[in-house]
Chain A
Amino acid sequence: MIVAEAKPLEEILDSLKGMSKVLVAGCGGCVAVCLAGGEKEVGIMASALRMKRELAGEPLVTVEETLTRQCDPEYVKELGKKLDGVDCILSMACGVGVQFLAEHYPDMWVVPALNTKFAGATIEHGLWEERCGLCGECVLAQTGGVCPVIRCAKSLLNGPCGGSQNGKCEVKPNACAWQLIYDRMKSLGRLEQLVEVAEAKDWSKSRDGGPRQVVREDVKIDG
């Protein structure tokens, strides 16, 4: 899932300066799962904003609406009914949702309430960790199911640097990705596979060429 977390309240308040009616838009997708932008978080955010603004003598009216997903046109459309008198949408989705709302409501000022962090997984309740670098060309078959592109601090493709010690990366207290790769390859009897020199990555498949697209003619409905 896409993991996100709330921006500091001051930053959000700053982006809502001068607005008197704000639609706080939640998303029922990834950010609801990682407890950053679902219905409950929308309620907390809206209540906090209202009180802070009231104390500042600039009361704020909020409309709360949580869409099934903010990254899908059919759900985004529903928001249109709620925009009466609204000056601004505060999107509590990931960066995709914020942009999608802005695209669909060209006359509306849309600002983010979250910082979008990474594509990751729930390690335990309240702890999420990055797992995928979205590089566009998966190398996991070569590295035993552990991604060095995102889990190694230097994205090394040919083994651990000299800073790996006792299973830990020198940069953060995280596990050294290459220690994990080594352990797995060893236990599966595939160490020799790691002696092969991995070629340089083709970064043109990553974000370097501007926004990427996936096109599937077989599932297109129109055209």
Chain B
Amino acid sequence: MDFNPKIVAFCCYYCAYSAADLAGSLRLQYPPTVRMIEQPCSGKVDIRLLLEAFEDGADGVYVAGCLEGDCHFLKGNIRAKKRVNAAKKILDKIGIGGERLEMFNLSGSMGPRFAEIATEMTNRILELGPSPLRQARQAEGENREEEASK
């Protein structure tokens, strides 16, 4: 089965988002599986947002914030990390798996690192396979089709 993962990246405007720009200007290759969502700060991300990304069909999610100590809002990235950890626990309990969610730190000048993270996360999700939720939905859809064809 062809698996084309859907990965959502919540990217801080001050680092990851600029790093993505830089990666683009440098013409670095990174997987097209990553959909970026700009955030004013990684600290804007809350647990509900992370969970709902999975609920809406993501196979993997990551938050990319500034290097620790370099947050434009002082501690936003530290808070984001704590929330990511809390959300991982919930995902484990639900059965989605906390390893599908990750926090990364980088600076605006780290274009190559941005591409590396996108590749790293894509490989991780490729290895894990589609989100259990997506699998359940697919199975449900096939059942329905089967019933309809009967």
Contact = CB atoms under 8 A, between A and B. Distances in A.
A52 B52 contact: no
Contact of B136 (A43, A44, A47, A57): A57
**Count class of interface residues, chain B:** 10 to 19
Interface in A31-58: 40, 43-44, 47-48, 50-52, 54-55, 57
Interface in A76-132: none
Interface stretch (B19-27, B87-95, B105-113, B116-124): B87-95
A54 B133 contact: yes
B48 interface: yes
A44 B55 contact: no
A15 to B, nearest CB: 16
Contact of A51 (B47, B48, B55): B55
Interface in A17-75: 40, 43-44, 47-48, 50-52, 54-55, 57
7 interchain residue pairs of minimum CB distance = A43-B48, A47-B51, A52-B94, A44-B48, A55-B95, A9-B93, A51-B94
26 contacts: A9-B90, A9-B93, A9-B94, A40-B46, A40-B48, A43-B52, A44-B90, A47-B48, A47-B51, A47-B55, A48-B51, A48-B93, A48-B94, A50-B55, A51-B54, A51-B96, A52-B93, A52-B94, A52-B95, A54-B137, A55-B94, A55-B95, A55-B132, A55-B133, A55-B136, A57-B136
Given A9-B90, A9-B93, 17 more contacts: A9-B94, A43-B48, A43-B52, A44-B47, A44-B51, A47-B55, A48-B51, A50-B55, A51-B54, A51-B55, A51-B94, A51-B96, A52-B94, A52-B95, A54-B136, A55-B96, A55-B133
